[in-house]
Amino acid sequence: MKRELTRLIAAQVCLHMCMAGTRMAAPLLALREGHSPASVGVLLALFALSQVFLSLPAGRFADRHGLRRPVAFAVLAALIGAGSAALWPTFGVLCFAALLTGGATGSATIAVQRQAGFLAGNPTELKQVFGWLAIGPALSNFAGPFAAGLLIDHAGFRTAFAFLALVPLASWWGVHAMAVRKAPEAPVQDGRRSSSWDLLREPPFRRLMVVNWLLSSCWDVHTFLVPVLGHERGLSASAIGTVLGAFALAATGVRVLLPLVAEHVREAVVVTAAMVCTAALFAVYPLAHTAWSMGLLSVLLGFALGAVQPMIMSTLHQITPAHRHGEAIGLRMMAINGSSVLMPLLFGSVGAVLGASGVFWFVGGVVGMASPAAIRLGQGRSRH
């Protein structure tokens, strides 16, 4: 299992690294070419927008074809996307690259997460597998922008995009030799195949989606409002960046620890504790006035929210039928990326009325009130 999991993590890192590097380089090039911040905002939204529409079809495709074919298509799309930016670095092509690299990464992630679930033989191994797998995006979110930045400074944007286009080829090398397990064929009932609405009609899955969406929104709230709150407090850009960096490091750190203690924790307990802690931290966050206090709260919030994804993915694989794991993961990713596109607009509108502090308190209150639902995660599980 360890060797196969390492290959899956490497495949995920290489594709995600392409997107993360492009997501840093493309807006930077657009700004240097004189495009407005509004245009750059649209460009950034395209990385998530493509995943909103592709996640569900990609999940169904993974259910039908396993791992290799989805990853092969994702590698090809990422190669075309970043490669086109290297050849024709215009704003329109950068938007095209954003759509392709974002969609490729999301589609491959669904296939990888689906395959990872088959490596585990029991709930403890599921938590361990998804704990390790969740470290991949954190590594690529550092490696992609770092490598792109070095290449931009020393060789120019074209070279950086060309490098990012070639990195996903390693993803194919990572998965092509794996023994891939396909799920059983989906049963046909009343002359038709099950629809995605059938999954959402199941209370355990619907509860999981609501809890996951709330906690994902908290991640977006923190990322969006910390710069606003820091600006109100008169903090420097480096101090605000350090606060956000502390959050990312804490989220990564807790994911490293989770596989080591997976046998001693329950998914529902971890997620419930994360919701309660998040609500409490959001209540206190607006009262912090220094970089040190905001940094401490950011670390604590990173520990709380960073522990959620492995627990959610472990639960998802236990409450959905094996032949629909890809579809279920696709629905989850569609909801998360839809939230990432829409919620900043909502936060901006609400923040204009309530202020940054008001948004923290409002979202924290909603999460706190919804936390009792998390303790029932996993009830009504089905075996895969």
- Give the per-residue pLDDT at 383: 42
The amino acid sitting at 175 is V
pLDDT of 100 over the 90 cut: yes
Domains along the sequence of the chain with CATH: 2-178 (1.20.1250.20), 197-374 (1.20.1250.20)
pLDDT for 282 equals 92
Question: Closest by alpha carbon to 375, among 208, 146, 156, 196?
Answer: 208
pLDDT average, residue stretch 89-102: 92
Angle, CA of 56, 333 and 80, to the nearest 5°: 75
Q: Is the pLDDT of residue 251 over 80?
A: yes
Read off the pLDDT band of 176 (50, 70, 90): confident
Placement of tokens 């679930």 in the chain: 117
Give the residue among 172, 160, 193, 139 at the shortest CA–CA distance from 67: 172
Span 141-161, average pLDDT? 85
**Residue 146 pLDDT level (bands cut at 50, 70, 90):** confident
pLDDT confidence of residue 201: 75
27-59: per-residue pLDDT in tens? Answer: 888 888 888 767 777 787 788 888 888 888 888
pLDDT at 351 > cutoff 70 = no
Q: At what angle do helices 237-261 and 203-232 cross, to 10 degrees?
A: 150
What pLDDT does residue 384 have?
41
Other C-beta atoms lying within 10 Å of the C-beta of residue 187: 9
* Mean of pLDDT values over 217-241: 78
Instruction: Say if residue 186's pLDDT is above 70.
Output: no
**What is the torsion angle, in degrees rounded to the nearest 10, for the CA atoms of residue 318, residue 324, residue 328 and residue 329?**
90
Q: Phi/psi at 287 (nearest 5 deg)? A: -85, -10
* CA distances to 54, 300, 315 from 335, in Å: 12, 25, 17
Token pair, residue 39, equals 């245009």
Average pLDDT over residues 326-355: 74
> pLDDT tens digits for 118-136?
877 777 888 788 888 888 8
| 202-217 per-position pLDDT tens digit | 778 888 888 888 888 8
How many CB atoms within 10 Å of residue 238? 10
Distances (CA, A) of 23 to 78, 99, 159, 369: 12, 11, 15, 35
**Angstrom distances, CA of residue 353 to CA of 106, 164, 224, 348:** 34, 41, 16, 9
From CA 25, how far away is CA 93, in angstroms rounded? 13
